[in-house]
Amino acid sequence: MNQLDQLKQFSSVVADTSDFRQLAQFAPQDATTNPSLVLKAVQSPTYRPLLEKVVAAHIEESTADIADRVLVAFGVEILKFVPGRVSTEADARLSFDIKGTVARAHRILKGYDDSGIDRARILVKIAATWEGIQAARKLAEEGVKCNLTLLFSMPQAVACADAKVQVISPFVGRIYDWYKKTAGGGWNEAANAGANDPGVQSVVQIYRYYKQHGIQTEVMGASFRNVGQIVALAGCDLLTISPSLLAELAASDAPVQQALDARVAAQTSMAQMRLDESAFRLALNQDAMATEKLAEGIRQFVIDAITLERLIDEIKAGGR
């Protein structure tokens, strides 16, 4: 078997893309999207017609409403190619607004309802700020499944578990990026590869903590920079992987060994953490990497959301 097929023996493979025409060849279980991926897709000739179709059908609605409809339209198409779930992101500008995030989640879900999609197949993606996690808590109480993204630290993972969110997405590659940049010329790539990769180690720690304490939240490794990071997390609940890395895995027959095992991880000895808001904010503040990458990620998603809305406005102006 190739590496992709071997990996599927240990983890649920998720495609990290809005390019749904690529999905069939990799047969992933689920798919994830974000504002950056949707923006990239609608700027291509292949997917521009989908954007134009959605705008034309709802041209009298607000630009923000149409933007959500575009995200849902991509999710609906993606679900034709995957048997499981799709993650659709709430507007990153609401990352510090509990009520706004809950309302936006409801609007996204209404879009899927109108398209006849079972809500069990939808994960609402929300940034793992304190406010985002509390919004996810409220949504979980309503039975809404969320995927908490831009997660870089154990305090974020602990707060998500306490909120009983469905999925968390710790960002392996962005953690790796920060440590590599910080080390500068002192970075040793070989010494920090595979199981020694700081991004991989962060996910392993979270995975072990969850399994030891019987936490049901699913751990989905995300934001990979190379195949080595993926293979080092074989056995993680889910792994969301870009098409380029899925293709690399499919083209290789190198062996893949299970790196994470829930039964083994359950034997880990880690004290259970309890974090109220002040403790969460202090713990996150004390982690420079997590603080910087969370803020950076939100800023980029906001930029891409605004750019998407500008594209919608241009199409609206031309269609009136």
Q: What is the rounded CA–CA span in Å between residue 87 and residue 71?
A: 10
Rg of the chain taking only CA atoms, in angstroms: 19
Contacts 24+ apart (CB under 8 A), 136-143: 136/160, 136/163, 136/165, 137/162, 137/163, 137/164, 137/165, 138/98, 138/102, 139/102, 139/105, 140/164, 140/165, 140/166, 143/119
Phi, psi values for residue 54, rounded to 5°? -65, -45
- Among the options 53, 110, 125, 293, which is catalytic? 125
125 tagged catalytic: yes
CB-based contacts of 125, cutoff 8 Å, min separation 6:
32, 33, 34, 87, 88, 89, 90, 146, 147, 148, 149, 169
Q: What is the rounded CA–CA span in Å between residue 81 and residue 71?
A: 16
The answer to whether 287 and 153 have CB atoms below 8 angstroms apart is: yes
Q: Which residues are catalytic?
A: 125
